[in-house]
Structure 1
Amino acid sequence: MVQTLFAKQALLPSGWTSDVRLHWNDDGNLSQIETAVTADPYERQCGYVSPGMTNLHSHAFQRAMAGMTEVAGEGPDSFWTWRDLMYRYALAISPEQMQAIAAQLYSECLRHGYTSVCEFHYVHRAPNGEFYSDIAETARQVIAGAQQTGIGITMLPVLYSYADFKQLPLREDQRRFNTNVEQILRIIESLENQRNAQTEVGVAPHSLRAASTDQIRDVVAGLAVDRPIHIHIAEQMREVNACLAATGKRPVELLFDTQTVDARWCLVHATHLNAHEVANMAASQSVAGICTSTEGNLGDGFFELPDYIAAQGRFGIGTDSHASQSVVEEIRWLEYGQRLKMQGRNIASVKGQRRVADFLWQQCLLGGAQASGRAVGALEVGKRADMIIFDDQHPNLQCSSVDDVLSSVVFTGNDNLIRDVFVGGQCVVENGKHRNQAEINANYIACMKQLRQL
């Protein structure tokens, strides 16, 4: 059975295109795209359809902490004081609670425009520090949360062996994260039966603080050659300075000196770069994973976006700690952060595309798809039928020309202009509501009642 959607305007790789019929097959892949056609009165129709966005960096369990760390301490607060609170929370969460939290998060992401997520998953062990009988137990629970919502997922089991540079031993409150190369490869092997069109499995060395360069080389060597590799890097100046003190090199410099970084890699945050590092990242065709809402929430700093764009670097967006679950907020603040930093306007543009929202939207589609290792991010034959339909009856869009649609979506107010969402050809959000929202909400509320009694 072939399914179809007629769009008055569809965002194809070439740009907005009129009178488009999208076909997909039972596998959930786009099978045919017709242009300049007439709508069939009996088929589903919409005004504006875009490919769904990939959320390229997520720690799902941290969704349960959102809003709970916004209280000043006795001394200066920072990423590092926030991290201590996060560790305490991580020690308490059960695998079943991880599933409930992940489903809540992913349903919210879907309603706000993400149809895929890259899950940077590092809570592998039980609270006592032992592995579960199934070494991949917690990863399976998070994947189950994705399946409950319908979102596509790239599971990234995290290699996490050390507390800091110079291979310092893990702290007691990091015991649930503790993994070596052999254990991570066992988790990946155990998840092989989870892989399908909706689920991919890659790997994530946590950072150069938490994994040695030899370990990173070994885990990449043990991974199938077509799988994605993600790593936190250069998020905070304290990390940069510690790396310099321990190795004589900055984090991105050290990574490029010790690893073969290519298009399989996603360098998450990369907030603090010099000109040489910007050039190397762009030339490698790796993806910069920018998470503006979390980087703002944690006080990380601003990515070197104009120089990176000038070097034709690839990038995408993620929600990381989930202070926000909105595609629009990430893209808006990716641009606004640069405006504040540079005291100018319309920073993220290039000669061929002066519309900032259009440029950022298209680049984040491409970068996120690459980072996911999945066939997503574009409305073209062979890609997943992952689509978001904008509410063309909303006042912000009713009077817009098609050229202004993405500018209106990104830069006009805080109403969610995403009405319907399809993933793999299945409608998972209709009229702004997830199809399993009541059950997901109930499970999450029960989970939070338990956690807040701790």
Structure 2
Amino acid sequence: MTAIHAEFALLSGGLVSNVRVVLDGSTIAAVIPSAQREANDISVSVLLPAMSNVHSHAFQRAMAGLAETRGPGTDNFWSWRTVMYRFALSMTPDHVEAVAAQLYMEMLEAGFSRVGEFHYLHHDQDGRPYANPAEMSERIAAASMEAGIELTLLPVFYAHSNFGGQAPAEGQRRFIHDLDGFAALMEKTEILVAGLPGGVLGLAPHSLRAVTPDELSKLLHFKKGGPFHIHAAEQTKEVEDCLAWLGARPVEWLLDNAPVDQSWCLIHSTHLSENEVQRLAASGAIAGLCPITEANLGDGIFSGPSFTEQGGCFGIGTDSNVLISVHEELRMLEYAQRLGLRSRNIIAPPGGSTGLALYQHALRGGSYALGTESGIAAGAPANLISLDLSEVPWLPPAQILDHWLFADGIRISDVWIRATRLVHDSRHVKRDEIQRRFHAAMIDLMGQHGH
């Protein structure tokens, strides 16, 4: 057995001093507060449960920082999407696997232990299915195995370009399925995910733009108890188009017409009425927030305090993967609330730590959204991160998470996944070989795009 002795550890009730955590196999065997360090223990300053990443499009890591040149008019989500389609159409399975492995390695170094891969890049470059319909899903799974991150795979059903069952656009040809083709994909991915340590299979209708009400109803029959994710109300245009076609706002329509419950995760949920906020919180569904991407794309600001005050649960994701960081996602979430409301310490309860509240909210919501569990407790998966306080030895314990999220001087030192240490001294154990393949893939892709 391996044991970790932490000067401070985040347990269910908050930070506790002198905690000894015993690991056995892939789980936590025992948690002993007020314990002395024993001779062979690994010693850390702060031990936290690792975070779940509720929403990722792995292939988009290839275009991080490459969509920041302004076009001839006003840039917005829809102009960004045009750049994204160009990358999606150019990537081979080898490219996707190399990019995903790099991304998943970066997620581990950033403190994520599990990724919800909202996977819709299914077909060959000409739009035809591969001989193996799960070819791209297998590449995502291989990348997760190489990096060591746990995977909740969310195969995406995508059939239309807009509300009303409009024909897909040419740039979407690699994403598109009919229900029979998607059923064949789900059969393959069920077998694939069963072979992954800690693997979870869910499914994801892309959005009400891309899926008709009839198709959504039929997709519910594919659900076998796993998570069910859908983009909802990310953009004001999406809300306006949904009102015009279905006579209701996206989240309102889903709550009225679908069995939305705690197994659902509504990604973004940026533009909600107060009634939608109340009903979404009451449903038990998770709001999948991606604050850095939502800021990068100019989406808008989620109704954070109203949602959490009514018992709503949220997780965080990295979505377009322009920047990979647990603490910066949480910081952006809080700062967006502060800018919108012109106030401070929004998510925290009265008298409470903002950093602690943000981390605990996202930890709980992330595990629910990805069909897993988290926390430092006997029997829980041994997915852990340690923070290095060597540059801030003067820091009071109550301010550790606040300082990590909102200041500088604290870094993630080590990460354990299923009790195996994959990050040591802030560096993934396979960084050199994974990065080498990523660089080769990117040089090839940039050459294709004329850079």
Alignment of 1:185-224 (within 5 A): 185-193=183-191, 194-195=193-194, 196-224=196-224
Residue in structure 1 matched with residue 383 of structure 2 by the alignment: 386
Q: How far apart, CA to CA, are the structure 1 residues paired with 2:183 and 2:49?
A: 33
Q: How far apart, CA to CA, are the structure 1 residues paired with 2:410 and 2:371?
A: 28
Alignment of 1:17-166 (within 5 A): 17-26=16-25, 28-166=26-164
Q: How far apart, CA to CA, are the structure 1 residues paired with 2:6 and 2:75?
A: 49
- Give ranges in structure 2 of 5+ residues lacking alignment: none
Deviation at 1:272, TM superposition (A): 0.1
User: In the TM superposition, what whole-angstrom CA distance separates every residue of 1:202-248 from its partner, at most 9, and x where no partner exists?
Assistant: 001000000112212211222212x0010000000000000011111
Q: How far apart, CA to CA, are the structure 1 residues paired with 2:61 and 2:54?
A: 15
Residue in structure 1 matched with residue 422 of structure 2 by the alignment: 428
Alignment of 1:396-435 (within 5 A): 398-413=393-408, 417-435=411-429
SS at match of 2:151: strand
Deviation at 1:402, TM superposition (A): 1.3
Residue in structure 2 matched with residue 249 of structure 1 by the alignment: 248
User: In the TM superposition, what whole-angstrom CA distance separates every residue of 1:108-151 from its partner, at most 9, and x where no partner exists?
Assistant: 11111111110000000001111111111101101111111111
Q: Could you tell me whether the CA contact under 8 Å between 1:188 and 1:201 is conserved in 2?
A: no
The residue type paired with residue 103 of structure 1 is: A
Q: How far apart, CA to CA, are the structure 2 residues paired with 1:33 and 1:214?
A: 49
Q: How far apart, CA to CA, are the structure 1 residues paired with 2:317 and 2:329?
A: 8
Deviation at 1:350, TM superposition (A): 1.9
Q: Could you tell me whether the CA contact under 8 Å between 2:389 and 2:410 is conserved in 1?
A: no
Q: Could you tell me whether the CA contact under 8 Å between 2:16 and 2:33 is conserved in 1?
A: yes
Q: How far apart, CA to CA, are the structure 2 residues paired with 1:115 and 1:424?
A: 9
User: In the TM superposition, what whole-angstrom CA distance separates every residue of 1:67-120 from its partner, at most 9, and x where no partner exists?
Assistant: 100000001100000001101110010111111001111111111111111000
Residue in structure 1 matched with residue 239 of structure 2 by the alignment: 240
Bigger drift between 240-249 and 11-20 goes to 11-20
Deviation at 1:416, TM superposition (A): 5.8
Q: Could you tell me whether the CA contact under 8 Å between 1:185 and 1:219 is conserved in 2?
A: no
Deviation at 1:425, TM superposition (A): 0.5
The residue type paired with residue 173 of structure 2 is: R
Q: How far apart, CA to CA, are the structure 1 residues paired with 2:126 and 2:63?
A: 21
- 1:354 aligned to 2:352? yes
User: In the TM superposition, what whole-angstrom CA distance separates every residue of 1:237-262 from its partner, at most 9, and x where no partner exists?
Assistant: 00000001111110001111110000
Q: How far apart, CA to CA, are the structure 2 residues paired with 1:33 and 1:182?
A: 48
SS at match of 2:447: coil
* Number of aligned residues: 446
Deviation at 1:18, TM superposition (A): 1.7
Q: How far apart, CA to CA, are the structure 1 residues paired with 2:247 and 2:322?
A: 34
The residue type paired with residue 72 of structure 1 is: R
Residue in structure 2 matched with residue 7 of structure 1 by the alignment: 6
Q: Could you tell me whether the CA contact under 8 Å between 1:204 and 1:229 is conserved in 2?
A: yes
Residue in structure 2 matched with residue 313 of structure 1 by the alignment: 312
TM-score using structure 1 length: 0.96
Q: Percent identity?
A: 38
SS at match of 1:55: strand
Q: How far apart, CA to CA, are the structure 2 residues paired with 1:184 and 1:418?
A: 40
Residue in structure 2 matched with residue 342 of structure 1 by the alignment: 341
Q: How far apart, CA to CA, are the structure 2 residues paired with 1:433 and 1:247?
A: 49
The residue type paired with residue 334 of structure 1 is: L
Deviation at 1:404, TM superposition (A): 0.8
Residue in structure 1 matched with residue 438 of structure 2 by the alignment: 444
Deviation at 1:3, TM superposition (A): 2.1
Deviation at 1:394, TM superposition (A): 2.2
Q: Could you tell me whether the CA contact under 8 Å between 2:2 and 2:41 is conserved in 1?
A: no
Residue in structure 2 matched with residue 266 of structure 1 by the alignment: 265
Q: How far apart, CA to CA, are the structure 2 residues paired with 1:387 and 1:224?
A: 29
Which 4+ runs in 1 deviate beyond 6 A? none
The residue type paired with residue 412 of structure 1 is: A
Q: Could you tell me whether the CA contact under 8 Å between 1:62 and 1:321 is conserved in 2?
A: yes
- Give ranges in structure 1 of 5+ residues lacking alignment: none
Deviation at 1:197, TM superposition (A): 3.9
User: In the TM superposition, what whole-angstrom CA distance separates every residue of 1:350-381 from its partner, at most 9, and x where no partner exists?
Assistant: 24x62111101000000001111023x21112
SS at match of 2:35: coil
Q: How far apart, CA to CA, are the structure 2 residues paired with 1:55 and 1:270?
A: 16
Q: Could you tell me whether the CA contact under 8 Å between 2:403 and 2:410 is conserved in 1?
A: no
